[in-house]
Amino acid sequence: MNKLSIALCCAFLSMGAQALELAAYPQVFSGPQGMEVTLAPTKDGQEALMRVSGINHPIDKVVFLGKLEQRGSSTQAYVTPLDGRDYGLVHRQRSSYGGGEQFVAYIPGQQAAIALAFDEKKSKSLKTADLLNTYQHQQKVGIQTKLARFDKDKRVAFTDSELQRADQTASESCGSLVKTTVDWASVSEDQLKTLSISGYCGEVASQLDNLCRSTPAFKSKAASLGQISCRFGPELKLRAENARLVFTTQQDAANQGDFIQQFLRNQ
């Protein structure tokens, strides 16, 4: 999402906020460790004000306007601009086996869905007028606009921290240093926005960790395989070069973990 589209999107949301008519009955959900999610749909059901609180994250207590979108046959998501892309913050999932519906939240930077439980007492006591006023005030000072912009430096720093955690785990399992570096010039801005770069580039460290834990004899091999350079390219490759592993990942390649493990076993 470029600067112009973000500006237009935020201008549209700001205009829409002035005409929002919220439904009479909002929903408040509880999550783990004090997390709370508020969802106040519009009368036409096509949008909703949503707020996540009780989390250590920049979106904490920020009220967003989300557009309801269909995601597959049984899932709908309330989507809002975040960090340069349209992000489904709250999902409503219907069971295909007649088990009703479940709400989950996806917090930026976290891969797993967070299950939510409906809180009837808080839902009845919530004043939608207060929620709307908070949203309009935050819009006026530009909080949502700032969060909508893509922050490349922040995304790179986050990816590096995730890779460091994977490297540390593998280093402890293998008894030798594992360190992954990314050739950032090979990563497009679109890939940085939409993909988990740490998930792709951290796969070699993950497989080293698996092999060191499952096959203790492999640890002696791992001592010479811990320097990893990762890049994105047109096809999946892995080679040993000058005492390091050079891993070329490809975003659509299947079974990358199996490919890496087979290579490591043959070293």
- The pair of three-digit structure tokens given for residue 88, joined into one six-digit string: 């489904």
Q: Are 67 and 81 in contact (CB under 8 A)?
A: no
Specify the 3-state DSSP secondary structure of 139: helix
The dihedral over CA atoms of 77, 87, 160, 58, expressed in degrees to the nearest 10, equals -100
Which tokens go with 1?
A: 């999402």
Which pLDDT value is given to residue 4?
Answer: 46
Query: How far, in Å, CA of 213 to CA of 102, rounded?
Result: 37
Spatial separation of the C-alpha atoms in residues 126 and 122, rounded to whole Å: 6
Please tell me the predicted confidence (pLDDT) of residue 96: 64
> In degrees, to the nearest 5, what angle opens at C-alpha 192 toward C-alphas 156 and 75?
120
Q: Cβ distance 251 to 234 under 8 Å?
A: no
Tokens matching residue 180: 């992954």
One-letter amino acid of 204: V
Write down the pLDDT at residue 14: 47
Classify residue 19 by its DSSP letter.
T
Residue-level pLDDT, tens digit, the chain, 267 residues: 454 444 545 554 444 445 789 999 999 999 999 999 999 999 999 999 999 999 999 999 999 999 999 988 889 999 999 988 899 999 999 876 666 789 999 998 777 899 999 999 999 999 999 999 999 999 999 999 999 999 899 889 989 999 999 999 999 999 999 999 999 999 999 999 888 899 999 999 999 999 999 999 999 999 999 999 999 999 999 999 888 999 999 999 999 999 999 999 998
